[in-house]
Amino acid sequence: MESFSSPSDEALLDDEAAGGPTFLDRLFDHGLLIRTGVDGLYGRSGAFESVVDALDRLITRLGAADGAEVMRFPPGMSRPAFERSGYLKGFPNLAGTVHSFCGDSAGHAEILACVEAGRDWTGQQEASDIVLTPAACYPLYPVAAARGALPAEGRLFDLQSYCFRREPSLEPTRMQLFRMREYVRMGSPEQVLAFRESWLERGTAMMRDLGLPLAIDVANDPFFGRAGRMLANNQREQGLKFELNVPVNSVEKPTACLSFNYHQDHFGSTWELRQADGGVAHTACVGFGLERITLALLRHHGLDLAAWPAAVRTALWG
Amino acid sequence: MNITQAIRDILGSNEAFAGKADQLSEDDSLFDMGLDSFGSVQLMLALEERFSVEFPDALLNRKSFATIRAIRDAVSTLVRQEAA
């Protein structure tokens, strides 16, 4: 895949290497992120959110002409739908299930005693029928399939959700709870591949307009275990996933800020989603990591939003 | 040990090939005939268990599982290495 050079590809601030505060520390010190005591679980300041909101609106403007149907789901999905989605085949380690207390008054007293004594109190928690959403599009597929076969022109959806992935990290770009904006296309292979191609171009132009150095690279999802290595190799061989990477934490390991995914008939088969002609529907999506793009902007343009380049501020806020 | 027959037996347990694994030619594309990525992973794990071998990373790709012939070549090599 073509790689793109940057408009401003100077070296990242090398503060950590010089023994200075990390990027995450500086984000805390400036109040942009707020500590909670859990790695990867942070509060956001008003300034941080103003960038996230601006990005969300920018992405809406870029896709407006396509007439996507907007859907917003809370950051939890039905456990049966989650199980059927196949997520556990590839990412059992990243999933987060919602558990709740299902005991009686005696159990309640026991929990309080455990908390008081500093012992494990979670023994009486039972899995509920809710799983934390792992990607914004996961709640969509069963809803779309329930409508019956797609019309001849296919369908296009606009989603945004907080998503959960259990991967505690000190890299600010690897949060456990983060927002993902997505456009999801359903239709024939030709329709969904044309969609992905168009967003490879639009996404690249968007990030260039934001003054960010970037490269488009073939990629794979972080599938679990040995079986996962094979799934990852297959995914790369078939060119199913591309990522738009920006150096944020380091130049050597840039951060995927956008991803462009062709699922082939995976979700179509899983959910019995049909094209108008009865064939299994193909799907593709473009995903935007809203916190990641925000962090890339903060990294490259500085922690003071008012001092960002005028062109970047105009692209975001008009 | 008849490796080819063992491969057909394992393929027969995959939904895409149920009841027709014995009719596959050695060069039929398994992926064209309905084997998906996760199916190929299940196939790989079943072959490892059946022949007590472990596929090295270099063989964990679609090419190694594309046809019965490709699978037999890979398994035969691994079985020989195991015996050596």
Tokens of A162: 């907080």
**With contact defined as beta carbons under 8 Å apart, do A128 and A99 qualify?**
yes
pLDDT of residue B19: 87
Domains in chain B, number: 1
CATH number for the domain running over A23-82+134-317: 3.30.930.10
> Residues 5..64 of B with a Cβ closer than 8 Å to A: which?
36-38, 40-41, 44-45, 57, 60-62
Checking DSSP bridges between strand A155-164 and strand A69-71, what pairing results, if any?
parallel
Which helix (H) or strand (E) element contains residue A4? Answer: none
A227 and B36 within 8 Å at the Cβ level: the answer is no
Can you give the CATH number for the domain in which B55 is found?
1.10.1200.10
Distance from CA of A22 to the nearest CA of B (A): 35
Query: Which residue in A226, A229, A234 is closest to B37 by CB distance?
Result: A234
d(CA A239, CA A274): 24
Distance from CA of B29 to the nearest CA of A (A): 15
**With contact defined as beta carbons under 8 Å apart, do A167 and A176 qualify?**
yes
Distance from CA of A266 to the nearest CA of B (A): 9
Predicted confidence (pLDDT) per residue in A285-303, tens digit: 999 999 999 999 999 999 9
A229 and B38 within 8 Å at the Cβ level: the answer is no
Domain that holds residue B79: 3-83
A230 and B61 within 8 Å at the Cβ level: the answer is yes
Predicted confidence (pLDDT) per residue in A163-191, tens digit: 999 999 999 999 999 999 999 999 999 99
Query: Which residue in B36, B38, B61 is closest to A233 by CB distance?
Result: B61
**What ipTM did this prediction achieve?**
0.84
Cα separation of the two ends of chain A? 32
Find where tokens 């275990």 sit. Answer: A225
Rounded to the nearest 5°, which phi and psi values hold at B17? -120, 10
User: How would you classify residue A284: left for phi > 0, otherwise alpha for psi between -120 and 50, otherwise beta?
Assistant: beta
Predicted confidence (pLDDT) per residue in A94-150, tens digit: 999 999 999 999 999 999 999 999 999 999 999 999 999 999 999 999 999 999 999
d(CA B26, CA B15): 19
Predicted confidence (pLDDT) per residue in A226-269, tens digit: 889 999 999 999 999 999 999 999 999 999 999 999 999 999 99
